[in-house]
Amino acid sequence: MEHNKIESVSIIGAGNVASHLALELFSLGVKISEIWSWHLTNAEELARKTNASTCITLPELKTDVDLVIIAIKDDSVSAMINQLPKGVKAIVHTSGGLNMDILSGASSNIGVFYPLQSFKKDEEIDWLTVPICIEANNDEFSKQLRFLAGELSKTVQFVSSKQRKKIHIAAVIANNFTNYLYSVAHDIAVEADVPFNLLLPLIKQSTSKLNGDDPFIFQTGPAKRNDLKLINDHLEILKGHEETAELYKYLSDMIIKKTGN
């Protein structure tokens, strides 16, 4: 392996993150050696797309690759590590929520390679815009991960396990929770016999304002104005939808509190 250059990779997993990562690394000229998955057919499909071999059982995973990437569900990582063969040169996981130290004992070079993005197999990803958070247990391996991440993305950030866990929480709130709120808004619109598309210009305008500053400076709405009459009118309309009403009231109270009204 050239200084700082990772040239061959094996991937444990064949789901959303694993698939996107394998395909992008392959397109950049990185040799994908082996793919392992709980579901053999998924591993075989990804292996065909990346000219890789399929690993049937983890103890048989080849140890002559530069890097092993674990891209599976968080609660399965510990069990997978215990099945790996001895002599793995370097290993990372892609989780936002797991400590790096969970890999201790698997190799002398351990780290994290966390792409801060939501992945689905059938969606295209512009990797140059995907922030990649990295962590490593030694300087040399850190340089190697930095070089690899830099091949994929314009934004590479060294982040500790403690920092990454908080970033992951922020990502869940910013992405998963807001998407759920869009779903709630969709249901309300449908109930009113109005197309959800009417809300899309508002949603797009709101997200277009974000520039790295505190988003609360752009906060608007009845709670920001402390318009309690309108809030109560909305809650009255939401009678019969207790969970949505509770959510509406809770978020309104939080906005009022942060505004200082």
For the chain, which residues make up each domain, given as ranges?
8-159, 164-259
pLDDT of residue 224: 93
Record the pTM: 0.88
Distances (CA, A) of 109 to 47, 88, 89, 218, 245: 25, 9, 7, 44, 51
Strand ordering across the sheet containing 110-115? 53-54, 31-36, 8-12, 67-70, 91-93, 110-115, 132-136, 156-158
| Token output for 59 | 């103890």
What is the predicted pLDDT for the residue at 80?
A: 87
Q: pLDDT tens digit string along 189-207?
A: 999 999 999 999 999 999 9
Is residue 221 predicted with pLDDT exceeding 60?
A: yes
Return the structure tokens found at 146.
């930095």
- The CATH class of 8-159 is alpha beta
Confidence category of residue 1, pLDDT binned at 50, 70, 90: very low
Which residues, listed in sequence order, are joined to residue 53 by a DSSP beta bridge? 34
Cα–Cα distance measured from residue 72 to residue 127, given in angstroms and rounded to the nearest whole number: 19
What mean pLDDT is reported for the chain? 93
What pLDDT is recorded for position 3? Answer: 58
Cβ 70 vs Cβ 48: under 8 Å: no
In this prediction, residues 2-16 reach a mean pLDDT of 87
Amino acid identity, position 244: T
CATH superfamily of 164-259: ProC-like, C-terminal domain (1.10.1040.20)
The predicted-structure confidence for 106-160, as pLDDT tens digits, reads as follows: 999 999 999 999 888 888 999 999 999 999 999 999 999 999 999 999 999 999 9
pLDDT digits (tens, 9 = 90+) for 33-85: 999 999 999 999 999 999 999 999 999 999 999 999 999 989 889 888 989 99
